Structure formats: C-alpha cells, structure tokens
Amino acid sequence: MIRDFLANLDTLLIYAFAALALASAAAMLVLRTPMRVALALITCMVSLGGVYGLLGVHFVAAFQVLIYVGAVMVFMVYAIMLLDPRDEAATARYSSLLWPGVFGFALLAEALAAGYWNDLPGAPRGATGGSFDIASFSSAFLSEYWLHFELTSVLLLVAVVAAIAVIRENRRSDRG
Amino acid sequence: MGLLTLIVLLPLLGFLVNGLAGNRLGKRFVSVVGCGLPAIAFAVTVKCFLDLQAGGWAPLAETAYAWAVVGQSSFEIAFWFDRLTAVMALVVTGVGTLIHIYSIGYMHEDKSYARYFAYLNLFLFFMLLLVLGKSLLVLFVGWEGVGLASYLLIGFWFGDMEKAAAGKKAFVFNRIGDAGFLLGMFAIYSALGTFDMPAINAAFMGASTPAVSASLVGILLFIGATGKSAQIPLYVWLPDAMAGPTPVSALIHAATMVTAGVYLVARMSGIYLHAPEASTIIAAVGALTALMAATIAIAQDDIKKVLAYSTVSQLGFMFVALGVGAYGVAIFHVYTHAFFKACLFLGAGSVIHAMSGEQDIKKMGGLGRKIPITFVTFAVATAAISGIPPLAGFFSKDEILWYALASGRGGSVLLFAVMAFTALLTAFYMFRLFWLTFMGAPRMAKEVEHHVHESPASMTGVLVVLAVLSAVGGFLSIPHFLEPMLPLPETMAAMQPYHYWVMGGSIAIAATGLAGAIWFFAGDASRAGAIRAGFAGVYRVLSNKYYIDELYDRLFGRPLVWISDAVFLRLGDRMIIDGTLNGLASVAQRAAGRLSRVQTGSLHKYAFLVLVGMVASFVWMWTHG
Amino acid sequence: MDKVQVLQFVAAALFALGLTGVVIRRNVLVMLMCMELMLNGVNLSLVTFAHAMGSAVGAVLVFLIFVVATAEIAVAIPIVLLLVRRKRTLDVGSFSDLKG
C-alpha cells in the first residue's frame, strides 16, 4: 500500500496543493481585513506554484513565485499598508449585490462544470506529457514568438511611463 | 457652322458679352455690340433669303446639334428656312434691329443700360430659335425663352413692386398656356413619334389619318397660342406688361413675341386644315377678343394702354384670318402690324419722353407743333392701322375682312359683321388717341410744356423708317408670296360679287372712324364728355376692362393663396414635416434618457452584469455546439 | 478522472471565485486581489493544457500573462491610491461619479 502511495505521490501532492489553492481562494471571499485577504491570496499563489512544479514546468513555477508573489503581492501589501484606514468602511465586507453575486457564482460554476463534464479534455499525449526545459522555452520565445516578446517589452515601458505620469499628476495636484 | 445657326447665335453672343462685361465696358461699347449683332443677324437673314430664292425656293435645313438620343428617337436642334420663316425672320431681325437702335436714345439715362441690351439680345435669340426651329421642341424652347425674356424686360425696373408684379403676371399666364401647348406636343409625339414640323404637317396632309385627332391637337396648341398671343382668356397680362420700357412694349408686345402664336398656327397649317372644329374655335375666339379689346380701348386714357388693347384686338384679327384658313393673310397682317404698331409704340415713347414721363392723354394736347417728326410718323402709323389706303394696314385688313366674309372654310356674314364693326372701333379709338395727344390746345402743366422737346436722332430716325415701311409695306403681297406653301382658301361663289363692295366698305369704315373721332374729340371734346356722362355705367365697365382681372383674382387667385397657406404651409410644412422631424428628435432624446439609466455608476453592478453575460454566453455556446 | 481533468475543474472554480469576489466585496483593494485570482485561474488552465498536449505555447502564454498582470498592477495601484486619497474611503459603493 505504501508502494502505491509512493508511486502516486506526485499525483496526490498535486491534489493536495490544488485543494489548498481552492480553500485559500474561498477564504479570500470571506476574510474580513484586507491584510488577511492578501495573505490568503499569497497562499493560493504559492500552492499554484507547487502545482506547476509538480506538473513539470519548473521555470513557470519559479516565475510564479518570483513575479506574482515576489513583486505583485508585495506591492499589493505595501498599498494595503498605505491605505488601510481604521474606519467603518474597512470592516464592511460585502457589497449590496451579495446574494445576486452568490447566485451568479452558483450559475457560473454550474455552467462551467456542466460544460466541462460534457466535453472532458482527453488523456495527455505522450507518456507524462513531456516537461519543458528553459532552453527550449527561451529559444521558442526568441524565434517563434519574438513578436510577443517585443510587444511585452513595449508594454512594460508603457506601464513605467504611465506609473510615473500618474504620480506626477498626484504631486502636481498636491502642490496646487 | 451654317448660316442659320449663325443667325441664331449672334444675339446670344450679344447677350453674353453685354451681360457679363457690359457694365465695365461703358455705354458706347454696349450700344455697338447690342445693336451691331442684331444688324449683322439681319444681314445674314437677307443673305439666306437670297440663297433661298436662288435655290428655287427649296427650303434650307441645317442641323446644329444632336441634343439627346433616347433609345430609337433622337432629338436634334435643327433649323429650317422656307418662305414663311423668311418673312418672320426678316421682320424679327429687321424691326428688332431698329428698336435696338431706338433704345440707345430712349434708355440713355438708365443706370442698367447694359442689362437692358443684354436682355433684349437674349429675347432676340429666343425669338429666332422660335421662328427658325425645325422641330416643335426647338420652337418650344424658343417659346419658353421669349416668355422668360418678356418677364425679365417687363419687370426691368423691378424696384417698383407693381412693375415686378406685372412681369410675374405675364410669366404665369404664359405658363398656363404652355400647359396646353405641352399636352398638344405630347399628343403629337405619342401618335406620330416625331417633333419635326415638316414631317408632322406631311403626316396630317397625307393619305392616312394619324392616330390622334387633329382637332384635339389643334385646340391644345391654340391654348398655348392664347397665352402667348394674348387672346381670351389669357390676354390679361398684356395691358399690365406696359409697365416695362416702351421699346420693350414695341418689340415684344407688338411686333414679335405676341405674333408667335400666329406663327405657330400658320406653321402647323397641316393640322388645322384637317381640324374644322379647332379652326372654328380659333375664329370665334379671335373675333370675340378683337371686339372686346376694341371696346375697352375706346375708354382708356393711358397712351400705352390704348395701344396695348389695340394690339390684343389686332391679334384677334390675325386669329380670325387663321380660323378661316387664310394663313398667308394672317402672316401678312403680322408683317404690316409689326411696322405700324412698332411705329406707334415708339412714337408713344417719344411722346412720353417729350412729356417728361406723363402718359395720360387727358393731360396732353397740342403736341403736333412742338414735336413734328413724332407727329408726322404717328399720323402715318395711325392712318395705317385704321386701314386708310394706300397704306399697309389697308391691304392686310381688307384681305382679312374679305376672307372673313367669303372663305369657304368658315367665312360668314356674322363674322364679317363683327370684324367690320371692330375695324370701325379701331379707326375710332386710334384717331381719338391721335387727336387728344397731338391736336387742339395744350392741356398740360406749364413746367411740362416748357420741357417738351423732340427726341434725339436715334429715336426719330427709327420712327421715320418705320413710318415709311408702314406706308409702302403693303405693296409687297405676302399672301401670294406664301401661297405655294400656305394656299389661300377658296372663296364661296355666292360672295364673289361682293369683293369690291367689301373693299369699298373698309375704306368707308376707316373714313367713318376718322370723322367720328374728329367730331367727338376735336376742340374741347365736349360732345365726348356728354356721351361719357350720359352712359356713365357703360363707361365705367369699359374703363375698368370689364372687371376681368378682379374676376380672375376671385375665382383663382384667392383660392390658390388659401390652399398654399392653409394646406401646404400650416398643415403640410409646419405640422407634418416639422412635426415629424421634431417628433423624431424628441423620441430619440427621451429614449436616450431612458437608456442612460443603465449607467448606475456602481462598479459592482457592472461586474455582476459581466458575470451574467458570461454565464449566458457559456450556456449558449455549449448548447449550440 | 485524470489529474488533468481535476485541475481543469479547479481552474474553473478559481476563476468563478475571483469574478464573484469582484461582485461581492466592498473594499477596492480586495476587488483588485480577486482580479488577480481570476488571472491565476486562467494560468492554471493554460499550464495544465501545456502539460497535457506537450506544446510550449501554453507556457509562453502564461509568461505573457505574468507580464500583463504585472503591468496592470503597476498602473492600477497608483490609480487606486489617487482615487482613495480624493474620496477618502475605500468603499467602492461610493465611487459613482460616472452615474447617468
């Protein structure tokens, strides 16, 4: 039995991480303070990183943790700490559309599940589906998907300019 | 370019040059161009006449331009020169040129000198299109064009609302006649498939009768002629047209445009020879118009109005001649009438010029000694119109009276009696006019009397030429010249013995009219005053022109204005059209207002709508595969 | 049921949870984080398929989504900062200036 367990360890671990991701995502909707919500999101992201690693795409897992958790969520935490006033609005959790939202969630989940159930994706091709190494990934990026690569650099430049412009507007209105 | 096209285009060139550049180039240039080009056109017409004669009187034809080709039929602008055209074209260009020269003196002080000559040349262009045209279509273009030129020239001094209204009235009544003309044209085209006038005449004269009734076409074309040639019921514009400058009255409303209707009927003689009902109607209308206009003329006091009604009456004479089949005689009267009526109108212009603008003959008198050339020429023309031999009017009027009595195509004693009485009235009112204007003691104000002066040479020279033509023009026997193409009707055998009685009678009529005028109006005109007081009611009806204008206004004018105002303006334009547009706009506005309520500004609601939409699209996608 | 299929359901669930979170939660920063959750759900789906089909396209797309998410956050948070500073509240319900 332990042999079976050890043989399917990676699958079990995948299921475990996936369950953790789901749980923390559900917790996000229920937790009160934004800080706790952020922590729940970090948990979700890290467990997703684990799933990616167990699926064999190690560099995507690394990027997930590095970029998403390490940059995006850190920034988000900074923003929460900057902005979180201890007032009434911060504690009010739900908007006026709570029950319609829940009902909509039920519908959406049911629609997606039904759609997937009727049209299940097939078994993976190739033995374990193949894992990629970063060398083939980067060469693909620079040969077949070079246009996307260039566009992302433009996008990042635009984001930098936009962020600076927004802050400058802020400073100008502060001064005036 | 052929000679005929050249004749037509020369006045057009004058119109363009004077119209576009006349103001900048000064009066002398305008005069030279404005009178020179018609003179050249006259010379070319004479050349064409000589060519016609040299060619054994075979008609000259020229196609200038293929206007439109629609399917199988092609409409061309083509010109035609036969005997009838020769007479008309020579009169139009000859008398036209003389009147242009007269205008140099008459319009000298006017500030719109160039515009006047431009319009006058434009009129000449259209009139030549009319007489030289080979197809009814070209004739109709000329027909409409002379109506336009008439409108422009009657309302020449358009700053005065009355004069502008007179121009509008002329145009509207012409247009009403043109409706009949167009219907006639359509009938001809649908039956014969061509507008070519020689072909139409041949079709009607030929062995097989065409599909359309000749009388119907004849009557429809005659309706157009009543508009253009001022017969009952569309004559009312001609007296009002005296609001225009006097040379315009002479050229358009005496010598040329108003004779277009007579020309049309004569040209389409092939139809009228086979349309006895139409011819009877023409004769009846002509006689009635002649009589009615003559009765009105004896009670008018404005020198130009008398001449206007006289024109209407003389046109009635011409239509009587046409109605009894004597087409050549009618054209003869056109020809002589052009001379003496133009001379009379231009003489009246000279009188008005001398009287510093006064037109009321009650305020004239004794002008004979002061303006001798005008006096003599006016006397010659008056004698001509009254039918005193051997002047031109005697010959043409005598022929008309003879055929009214004796023509085998509708002559009758009744017709003759009416026309003879009208001739008597003609002599009477013309000599009345002459006596009150030129003879007796002066009745004018002292300042006016001081300024009475003879007109300049450009004006009196023309008067002399026209007077000479009025005197000797009758010796050219036009009816016999036209007989090869417009045969004279056979005279009834029963009437043959009376031929010389009729001639003697017409001389007697003229003399009686002259004597009557002298008896009533010489000296202090006390006998005329007594008659007027005695028959005050009759006098009032006559001087108010039988109240026809008021009748037309009440019957047609006011209802039309009411319809325009109540139905078209208030109901149609404001309520329906504006209401629809405004209604659409307000519907759009209110709909937009309702729809903008979707924008609540609440982000949650927007996100919820995204969710709902996503669910819907997934469901749809997965159920419709 | 294969792990790939399970992961697909998980990805769909994550996405649905994220969208619901945007509708339900009142705090603007929490709404932003729920949007990140949506992106993560999509990423999981992409990676799963990349693994299942053996093609690198999925991985490339995931990388692009990382970049886009980063750029988005980099601009969104300053905007939210300015907005909150002006309105003096984090409550999205009171941001209704664009009404009508």
**Each residue's pLDDT tens digit, B443-472:** 877 777 778 888 888 888 999 999 998 888
Instruction: Determine how β-strand B73-81 pairs with β-strand B60-70.
Output: antiparallel
Chain B (563-622) residues lying within 8 Å, Cβ to Cβ, of chain C: 596-597, 599-604, 607-608, 610-611, 614
> pLDDT-derived band of residue A91, with 50, 70 and 90 as boundaries?
low
Cβ-Cβ pairs closer than 8 A, A with B, add up to 32
- Count CA atoms within 13 Å of residue B262 on its CB side: 36
Chain A hits for B621, Cβ within 8 Å: 115
Q: Is the pLDDT of residue B28 over 90?
A: no
Q: Give how far B597 is from chain A: nearest CA, Å.
A: 18
> pLDDT-derived band of residue A73, with 50, 70 and 90 as boundaries?
very high
Is A111–B612 a contact, with Cβ atoms under 8 angstroms apart?
no
**Each residue's pLDDT tens digit, B258-305:** 889 999 999 998 888 888 889 999 999 999 999 999 999 988 889 999
Q: Is the pLDDT of residue A126 over 50?
A: no
**Each residue's pLDDT tens digit, B112-132:** 888 999 999 999 999 999 999
Is C92–A21 a contact, with Cβ atoms under 8 angstroms apart?
no
For residues B356 and C71, give the distance between their C-alpha atoms in angstroms, rounded to a whole number.
97
Across the range B168-186, mean pLDDT stands at 92
> To the nearest whole percent, how much of chain A has pLDDT over 70?
85
> pLDDT-derived band of residue C2, with 50, 70 and 90 as boundaries?
confident
User: What is the CATH topology of the domain spanning C3-90?
Assistant: Helix Hairpins (1.10.287)
Nearest alpha-carbon partner for B451 in B543, B351, B518: B351
**Each residue's pLDDT tens digit, B319-353:** 999 999 889 999 999 999 999 999 999 999 999 88
Q: Give how far B592 is from chain A: nearest CA, Å.
A: 26
Is B614–C19 a contact, with Cβ atoms under 8 angstroms apart?
yes
Identify the chains in contact with B, defined as 3+ C-beta pairs within 8 A.
Answer: A, C
Nearest to A104 among B615, B618, B622 (CB): B615
Reply yes or no: is the peptide bond before residue B233 cis, omega within 30 of 0. Answer: yes
**Each residue's pLDDT tens digit, B95-113:** 999 999 999 988 888 888 8
Nearest to C93 among B597, B602, B608 (CB): B602
Across the range A132-139, mean pLDDT stands at 78
Chain A hits for B605, Cβ within 8 Å: 97
Across the range B17-28, mean pLDDT stands at 86
CA torsion C93-C94-C97-C98 (nearest 10°) is: 0
Nearest to A104 among B611, B618, B622 (CB): B611
* Domain segments of chain A as ranges: 1-88, 133-176
- pLDDT score recorded for residue B44: 93
For residues C10 and A113, give the distance between their C-alpha atoms in angstroms, rounded to a whole number.
10
| Contact (CB, 8 A) for C25 and A94 | yes
- pLDDT score recorded for residue C1: 61
Chain B hits for A96, Cβ within 8 Å: 602, 604
For residues B89 and B124, give the distance between their C-alpha atoms in angstroms, rounded to a whole number.
10
Nearest to B622 among A97, A105, A118 (CB): A118
Chain A hits for C52, Cβ within 8 Å: 121-125, 129
Is A108–B604 a contact, with Cβ atoms under 8 angstroms apart?
no
Indicate the CATH number for domain A1-88: 1.20.120.1200
- pLDDT score recorded for residue C81: 86
DSSP codes joined into one string, B148-208:
HHHHHHHTSSTTSHHHHHHHHHHHHHHHHHHHHHHHHHHHHHHHHS--BHHHHHHHHHSSS
**Each residue's pLDDT tens digit, B473-525:** 888 888 888 888 888 888 877 777 788 888 888 888 888 888 888 888 876 66
* Domain segments of chain C as ranges: 3-90
Position with higher pLDDT, B475 vs C34:
C34
- The vertex-B437 CA angle with B433 and B439, nearest 5°, equals 105
Would an 8 Å CB–CB cutoff place C5 in contact with chain B? no
Is A107–B622 a contact, with Cβ atoms under 8 angstroms apart?
no
- From A45-54, B307-316, B391-400, the region with the lowest mean pLDDT: B391-400
Helix (DSSP H) and strand (DSSP E) numbers for chain B = 27, 2
- From B193-202, B338-347, B415-424, the region with the lowest mean pLDDT: B193-202
Cβ-Cβ pairs closer than 8 A, B with C, add up to 32
Query: Taking all residues of chain B, what is their mean pLDDT, rounded to a whole number?
Result: 88
**Each residue's pLDDT tens digit, C57-94:** 888 899 999 999 999 999 999 888 888 888 888 888 78
Q: Is the pLDDT of residue B571 over 90?
A: no
- pLDDT score recorded for residue B142: 93
Position with higher pLDDT, B494 vs B593:
B593
Q: Is B230 left (phi over 0), alpha (psi -120 to 50) or beta?
A: left
- pLDDT score recorded for residue A157: 95
Across the range B82-101, mean pLDDT stands at 92
Q: Give how far C100 is from chain A: nearest CA, Å.
A: 19
Interface test with A, best of B604, B609, B610 (most A CBs within 10 A): B604
Count of beta carbons in the 10 Å neighbourhood of residue C1: 8
- From A152-166, B140-154, B398-412, B481-495, the region with the lowest mean pLDDT: B481-495
Nearest to B611 among A108, A118, A119 (CB): A108
Reply yes or no: is the peptide bond before residue B559 cis, omega within 30 of 0. Answer: no
Would an 8 Å CB–CB cutoff place A104 in contact with chain B? yes
Q: Is the pLDDT of residue A120 over 70?
A: no
Q: How far is CA C58 from CA A57, A132, C62, in A?
A: 10, 11, 6
Q: Is the pLDDT of residue C21 over 50?
A: yes
Cα-flanking dihedrals φ and ψ of residue B276, to 5°? Answer: -60, -35
DSSP codes joined into one string, B218-236:
HHHHHHHHHHHTT-TTS-T
Position with higher pLDDT, B315 vs A174:
B315
Across the range B350-374, mean pLDDT stands at 85
- pLDDT score recorded for residue A127: 42
> To the nearest whole percent, how much of chain B has pLDDT over 90?
39
Across the range B420-426, mean pLDDT stands at 93
